[in-house]
Chains A and B, each alone.
Chain A
Amino acid sequence: KQEVTQIPAALSVPEGENLVLNCSFTDSAIYNLQWFRQDPGKGLTSLLLIQSSQREQTSGRLNASLDKSSGRSTLYIAASQPGDSATYLCAVGQGGSEKLVFGKGTKLTVNP
């Protein structure tokens, strides 16, 4: 059974700092991995989607990497801003399955 873990559960950093969020999964036979952002009381917004054949994806100040063999993904946020404060979730897609398995998220606070 696939399990997705995100550590730490919460992270607080000063504005301008570069930071890394971690996501690990137990079964390396994944189809893809997505990173989402969720603001309080809101739905999820897809940030980056990495296919199993890819090593990384970039969008603006965000860079996500994927290492299937070690069961890990990281989300790198450059030059963090207070507007980046949110909960970040990762989810893995299994081949042949409709189900995404979600981590519990990392709550990020960027302090001005």
Chain B
Amino acid sequence: DGGITQSPKYLFRKEGQNVTLSCEQNLNHDAMYWYRQDPGQGLRLIYYSQIVNDFQKGDIAEGYSVSREKKESFPLTVTSAQKNPTAFYLCASSARPLGGEKLFFGSGTQLSVL
């Protein structure tokens, strides 16, 4: 089955620790995105990538980093600089960069601080 796989489903971060969230897609999509979802708020864009080896900051990129070394993979690192990391993180992809394309989402990773 084609789709987007996010792992782990639950993740706990200790003070001062960096953690990495995995996102893999087998849809052969060019564009990939990371969103953060907080209770009672809409989704907010963290980073996006239109093509391999290229990525752009979204609205709330501070404290996060990404890489896009392979078309199918777009991992997100939550660094110790992100002071309020507790949230539900969603990875998404589209066949081409946004401009009329449907967005496909993974099942999410819930990150909590210990």
Residues of A within 8 A of B (CB): 4, 31-32, 34, 36, 41-46, 49, 51, 89, 91, 93, 95, 97-105
- What number of A-B contacts does a CB cutoff of 8 Å give? 70
| B85 interface residue per 8 A CB criterion | no
Residues of B with C-beta under 8 A to A99: 45, 48, 58-59, 98
Contact B99–A31 (Cβ < 8 Å): yes
With CB as the reference atom, state the residue of chain B lying closest to A99: B45
Partner of B107, one of A43, A100, A104: A43
Chain B residues bordering chain A, tally (CB within 8 A)? 30
Residues of B with C-beta under 8 A to A49: 100, 102
Residues of A with C-beta under 8 A to B16: none
Residues of B with C-beta under 8 A to A43: 4, 6, 90, 105-108
| B110 interface residue per 8 A CB criterion | yes
Q: When chains A and B are docked, how far (Å) is the Cα of A98 from the Cα of B4?
A: 19
Partner of A42, one of B41, B98, B107: B107
Contact B106–A51 (Cβ < 8 Å): no
| B94-114 interface code vs A (CB 8 A; 1 in, 0 out) | 000111101111111010000
Q: When chains A and B are docked, how far (Å) is the Cα of A51 from the Cα of B98?
A: 12
9 tightest A-B contacts by CB? A102-B42, A43-B105, A44-B105, A102-B43, A43-B107, A46-B102, A104-B42, A43-B108, A98-B98
Partner of A100, one of B45, B56, B104: B45
With CB as the reference atom, state the residue of chain A lying closest to B108: A43
Residues of A with C-beta under 8 A to B48: 98-99
Q: When chains A and B are docked, how far (Å) is the Cα of A49 from the Cα of B90?
A: 19
Residues of A with C-beta under 8 A to B4: 43
Min Cβ gap A1→B in Å is 11
Residues of A with C-beta under 8 A to B104: 46
Contact B98–A93 (Cβ < 8 Å): yes
